[in-house]
Structure 1
Amino acid sequence: MSLPNIWHHRKVADTSAKGCEICFKPSTSVLITPDKQDFFYVCPAHLKDRGFCSPIIDHDAVAAKKKKEMDEEVERLKKEYEEKQRKKKEKEADKEKDNDKQKDKKDSKEKEEDNGEKKEESPSGDKGKSKDKNQAEVEEEPRVFALQRVFHQRRLDRKRQAEMAKRNRERLNNPNFFPSVPKDLP
Structure 2
Amino acid sequence: MSLTNVYHVRRVADTSAKACLICYKPSTSVMITPDNKDFFYVCPAHLQDKHFCSPIIDTESQAARAKEEAMAKEIEMVKKEYEEKQRRKKEREKESSREDKEDKVKSKDESKDKDKSKNSNTNDEKERDERIASIQEGAGIEKKTNDSPRVFALHKNFYQMRIDRQRNIEIAKRNQERLKNPSLFPSVPSGNP
Question: Do the two structures share a fold, i.e. TM-score over 0.5?
Answer: yes
Partner in structure 2 of residue 180 of structure 1? 187
Cα separation, partners in 2 of 1:73 and 1:118, compared to 1, 3 Å: farther
- CA shift, 1:40, in A, is 0.9
1:101-146 C-alpha deviation (Å, 9 max, x unpaired): 1122436775566445545655662796498378543798981111
SS in 1 for 2:40: strand
Partner in structure 2 of residue 79 of structure 1? 79
1:8-39 C-alpha deviation (Å, 9 max, x unpaired): 11112222221111111111211111111111
Unaligned runs of 5+ in 2: none
Instruction: Pick which of 112-121 and 50-59 moved more.
Output: 112-121
Partner in structure 1 of residue 41 of structure 2? 41
Unaligned runs of 5+ in 1: none
Q: Return the match for 1:149 from 156, 177, 180.
A: 156
Structure 2 contact 7–34 (Cα < 8 Å) conserved: yes
Identity of aligned residues (%): 46
Q: Return the match for 1:159 from 141, 162, 166.
A: 166
1:65-97 C-alpha deviation (Å, 9 max, x unpaired): 221221232123123213313432442343233
Partner in structure 2 of residue 28 of structure 1? 28
Cα separation, partners in 2 of 1:24 and 1:86, compared to 1, 3 Å: closer
Q: TM-score, normalised by structure 1?
A: 0.82
**How many Å separate the matches in 2 of 1:26 and 1:2?**
29
**How many Å separate the matches in 1 of 2:55 and 2:130?**
36
Q: CA RMSD in A?
A: 3.0
Q: TM-score, normalised by structure 2?
A: 0.80
Residue pairs, 1:116-127, within 5 angstroms: 118-119=121-122, 122=125, 125=129
Residue pairs, 1:8-19, within 5 angstroms: 8-19=8-19
Q: What amino acid is aligned across from residue 144 of structure 1 in structure 2? A: V
Give yes or no for the alignment of 1:170 onto 2:174.
no
**How many Å separate the matches in 2 of 1:64 and 1:73?**
14
SS in 2 for 1:31: strand
Structure 1 contact 51–148 (Cα < 8 Å) conserved: yes
SS in 1 for 2:144: helix
**How many Å separate the matches in 2 of 1:90 and 1:158?**
71
Q: What amino acid is aligned across from residue 5 of structure 1 in structure 2? A: N
Aligned length: 186
